[in-house]
Structure 1
């Protein structure tokens, strides 16, 4: 299954924010109900509900990946065992970690 769990690592422990799925229509992000009940920081406005679908990778998640136009992108892909740029798979393999926050992505089994 093409699904990633979005986790926020905090001083109090890890909390599941939601789930990102690759679907035929593109991508689906769904907040975890417990996260919405207990947290104010959200990626998308809740006015539409807890599920969001987009044809392309959501900008918040895409920004966690190396730009596919980088001159050294092929080397980066090879270092993660990829032959071509696949934003979902690259997010899974890099875990989407960046220096400025404590979110990460875990592949669901």
Structure 2
């Protein structure tokens, strides 16, 4: 299944923020209902509901990945067992961790 759970590693527990899915038309991000009820930090402005669809990877998530135009991108891909740049799979394998926040992505089983 092409779905990642987006979590925030809090001081006491992991909190599910939402779910990122890869679909034939692109990508869907859907907030977890409990997260929306109990938290103020959100990635996307709520407009109609809690589901967002885009034909390409959302910029917020794409920014957590190495740029595919880097001169050493093939070496990076190889280190994660990838033959070509696939932003969703790279996000899953790197878990999208960056030094500036406590969000990460977990592959759904």
Question: 2-side partners of 1:27 and 1:47: how far apart?
Answer: 17
Q: TM-score, normalised by structure 2?
A: 0.99
Question: 2-side partners of 1:78 and 1:57: how far apart?
Answer: 21
Question: 2-side partners of 1:21 and 1:47: how far apart?
Answer: 19
Question: 1-side partners of 2:85 and 2:48: how far apart?
Answer: 31
Question: 2-side partners of 1:64 and 1:75: how far apart?
Answer: 18
**Which 5+ residue runs of structure 2 have no aligned equivalent?**
none
User: C-alpha deviations, 1:62-85, integer Å up to 9, x for none?
Assistant: 000000000000000000000000
Report what 1:7 is aligned to: 7
RMSD: 0.5
Superposition misfits of 4+ residues, deviation over 2 angstroms: none
Question: 2-side partners of 1:48 and 1:73: how far apart?
Answer: 38
Question: 2-side partners of 1:71 and 1:91: how far apart?
Answer: 19
User: C-alpha deviations, 1:66-108, integer Å up to 9, x for none?
Assistant: 0000000000000000000000000000000000000000000
Q: TM-score, normalised by structure 1?
A: 0.99
**Which 5+ residue runs of structure 1 have no aligned equivalent?**
none
1:48 deviates by: 2.2
Q: Secondary structure of 1:92's match?
A: helix
